Amino acid sequence: MLKNIILMGPPGAGKGTLAKQLKESLNLVHISTGDMFRDAIKAQTELGKLAASYINAGHLVPDDVTIGLVKERLSQKDCEGGFLLDGFPRTLPQAEALQEIAKEISRPIEVVINLDCDNAELVRRISGRRVCKNCGAPYHIDSMKPKVEGVCDLCGGPLYQRKDDNEEALKVRLEHYVSETKPLLDYYDKLSLLKSFNSLTGKEILFDEVSSYLKK
């Protein structure tokens, strides 16, 4: 089974949703830089204050901060059994640093799963997304409704709309994706690590396709 995995795709492609499904079924550690920053914002740490100033406007957190955070997390013992990186790397310096980190800790990246999705669907998903304040589970007001409105099915926590899930910040996030993150698809293709999937098929079909591929 492939187990040191990067999940890539534009904002709203479904990286977080898929990561949560794969983490349960394949017993992998889920490392989401977006979730790590949001936890730091919630805890009002210095990192959180710095991250909020970038994230709320849709900008990327500086590379040195993000790379340091991921390096520390990947070095922890629970990553020995395999990890899912969700939202990292997003820039060429991050991708190059990750190659070095992976070498240092002897946990090489085995596959990069890319989720393709068109822009109209990304806008629909992001503008209707609601997230559990406690466990981070994602929902959608039309297509992935919780059983009880405003309440998480998994932990009973309250659902909220992320501060960066507005039209203005999304435009900036998409621009960063196109200029800084999308070029990494070529980078990983050249390393023969890239495998793309269509995320428009719906979350259960996508999960089946990706997990079958990882188990090959």
129 among known catalytic residues:
yes
Q: What is the 8-class DSSP label of residue 143?
A: T
Chosen residue from 8, 11, 83, 137 binding ligand AP5 by CB under 6 A: 11
15 among known catalytic residues:
yes
Which of 3, 23, 162, 203 is catalytic? The answer is: 162
Is omega for the bond preceding 89 within 30 degrees of 0, making it cis?
yes
130 among known catalytic residues:
no
Retrieve residue 25's tokens.
């079924």
Is the C-alpha dihedral spanning 109, 170, 33, 212 positive or negative?
Answer: negative
Q: Which is nearer to ligand AP5, 11 or 82 (CB)?
A: 11
Cβ–Cβ < 8 Å for 195, 116: no
Cβ–Cβ < 8 Å for 95, 177: no
Chosen residue from 8, 26, 88, 95 binding ligand AP5 by CB under 6 A: 88
Region near ligand AP5 per CB under 6 A, out of 32-40, 99-107, 149-157, 187-195: 32-40
Mask of contacts with ligand AP5, 104-123, x by CB under 6 A? --------------------
Question: Hey, what amino acid is at 216?
Answer: K
Minimum Å distance from CB 189 to ligand AP5?
A: 20
Coil vs helix vs strand at 117: coil
According to CB under 6 A, which residues from 62 to 81 bind ligand AP5? 66
Retrieve residue 215's tokens.
């188990």
The yes or no reply on residue 16 touching ligand AP5 (CB under 6 A) is: yes
Retrieve residue 40's tokens.
């730091």
CA distance 40 to 51: 8
125 among known catalytic residues:
no
Residues at the interface with ligand AP5 (CB under 6 A): 9, 11-17, 33-34, 37, 54-55, 58-61, 66, 87-88, 90, 94, 125-126, 129, 138-140, 143-144, 164, 173, 199, 202-203, 206
